[in-house]
Amino acid sequence: MWKDSLWEVMELAGKEEHEIAKTNGDIDTDGIPYITVFLDGGWSKRSYGHSYTAASGVAVIIGKNTGKLLYLGVRNKYCSICSLSKNKEESAPNHLSKTL
pTM: 0.70
- Residues sharing a CB contact under 8 Å with residue 94, sequence separation 6 or more, in sequence order: none
Q: What are phi and psi of 96, to 5 degrees?
A: -95, 100
What pLDDT digit, counting tens, does each position of 17-46 carry?
999 999 999 999 999 999 999 999 987 766
What pLDDT digit, counting tens, does each position of 39-84 carry?
999 877 665 665 656 677 889 999 999 999 999 988 777 677 777 8
